[in-house]
Structure 1
Amino acid sequence: MVDRRVHPWSRDASGPALILPDGCLDVIVRPDGTAVVAGPDATARESDDEGRYVGIRFSHGLGPLVLGVPADELTGRVVPLADVVGRAAAAGLGGDAAALRDWVIGRLATVHDDDPWAPAAFGAAAVGTPVATIADRTGLSARTLQRRCRSRFGYGPQHLGRVLRLQRALALHRRGDPWADAAAEAGYVDQPHLARDCKALTGRAPTLL
């Protein structure tokens, strides 16, 4: 499954955790074998999971194509996979990583997306490109870009940019950059700007994440 927009993952959950927004959509198999769809989060949400979870994260707007549903219908929601794709399409998906991988490969075979605007818009937002520039590069009006971004990412281009900017800052800090340097390189005006945006998106200061 070679696609830069598809990211398999697994996690051994052991209590409360904060799930940060990342502009992506996940298909997840829970410890009891049930499969769910976690839509794109506009803000962080609390999780109190226990056990081993396996999942596939779809980035760059691929998830809605795989599932056949607009992303903004799933924003901030976790719903049974069968409710999204139908019981027949979800049947046979086992509770392990191999079964999930095979299911996703089968779904990807049905995806046809010849318009590169969504991965281009996501990639541009991920490096801090202004919304007006993204619209120009994709050849879309501001209103059309807003509508299409909601359908593919779960929210508009401005919010997507904020979410991905915070992810950049956190990645830089994990790499070892001081908060002030991470803020500047990620595109914030200054460190207090990062702190305000982080609090708005996650409910916490950066130092508490």
Structure 2
Amino acid sequence: MSPEYVERASRLPGAVVWVQGAPGCAGPGEATSVLPDGCIDLLWTAGRLLVSGPDTSAYRPGRGHWAGVRFSPGIAPALLGIPAHELRDQRVDLACLWPGARARRLTERVDAAADPAAALEELALRLAADAEPVDPLLRAVVASLEAGRSVTATADSVGLGARQLHRRSLTAFGYGPKTLARVLRLQRALGLARRGVPFAETAALAGFADQAHLARDVREMAGRPLGELVEK
């Protein structure tokens, strides 16, 4: 993200609150691409509340003052009442997902707040309080794939067949477990490389076949080579 991007841990477990840009400014000259991470974000910018779905490739955010709550994989669909696959690779106005009057009322409340990010976090906390608890099975799926286990091993560990896991994953994460595993592997590799781990070692530790495999996956999903991403 741009140098004006700031984030902090949310009071909602597993979520992150972030802000980019400043009130009244046009925003960064060129925002850095947001990379696939398996997450769904609730977004605010002046006069709008939106939902940013789980991505399969990088996208560039708009200019201006933005605030967001980023939910860890599998959390947001229960809070928003929308299957994750319906939001994949999209930025959707909340008014298109919820009754217009409710969306307008919430948008006006965040618009009027002295701290839109804090108001957005309060909205997320209220949604979480009204929603059913997240299925522990979904957390187990994410934990298994984050650890680099195969989809087959993950399905076995949670007691689901391949088709059941795929169906549950589409609803909760926005894509099947193979794609989620690939996205999480990308994030593991970025974390390692940004800590200074050599790229060949990063490839091995993150679960890639070799450094060339790492380079191809990064280029395909991030749209630029790993070296450029590490420099950001």
User: TM-score when scaled to structure 2?
Assistant: 0.84
Residue 153 of structure 1 corresponds to 173
Structure 1's consecutive aligned runs of 4 or more residues displaced over 6 angstroms after TM superposition are none
Residue number in structure 1 paired with 2:147: 127
5+ residue gaps, structure 1, are: none
Q: For residue 81 of structure 1, what is the aligned residue in structure 2?
A: 94
Deviations 1:9-32, CA, capped at 9 Å, x for gaps: 1122512421100001000111x2
* Aligned equivalents of 1:36, 1:188: Cα separation in 2: 34
What amino acid does structure 1 have at the position aligned with 2:13? R
Equivalent AA in structure 2 for residue 94 of structure 1: V
Aligned to 1:71: 84
Where does residue 37 of structure 1 map in the other structure?
A: 51
Give the aligned partner of residue 208 of structure 2: 188
How far apart are the structure 2 equivalents of 1:4 and 1:99? 17
Instruction: Give the structure 1 partner of residue 35 of structure 2.
Output: 20
Cα–Cα, structure 1 residues 114 and 54, in superposed 2: closer, same or farther, change >3 Å?
Answer: closer
Q: Please name the residue that 1:113 is paired with.
A: 133
In 2, the alpha carbon distance for the partners of 1:118 and 1:89 equals 29
Q: Which residue of 1 aligns with 2:117?
A: 97
AA paired with 1:71? Answer: A
Is this contact kept in 2: 1:8–1:55, CA < 8 A?
Answer: yes
| SS of equivalent residue, structure 1 residue 55 | strand
Shift of 1:201: 1.4
1:50 to 51, 60, 63: 63
Q: In the comparison of the two structures, how many residue pairs are matched?
A: 207
Could you state the TM-score of these two structures normalised by the residue count of structure 1?
0.93
**In structure 2, do the counterparts of structure 1 residues 37 and 114 end up closer, same or farther at CA, with 3 Å as the change threshold?**
closer
Report which of the two has the higher share of strand: 1
Alpha-carbon shift at residue 40 of structure 1 (Å)? 0.4
Q: CA deviation at 1:115?
A: 2.8
Question: Identity of paired residues, percent?
Answer: 41
Does the residue aligned with 2:175 lie in a helix, a strand or coil?
coil
> Cα deviations across residues 51-90 of structure 1 (Å, max 9, x unaligned)?
2211001113000011001000000000111222323433
Residues in 2 aligned to 1:99 and 1:66: alpha-carbon distance in whole angstroms: 16
In structure 2, runs of 5+ residues without a counterpart are 1-9, 22-26
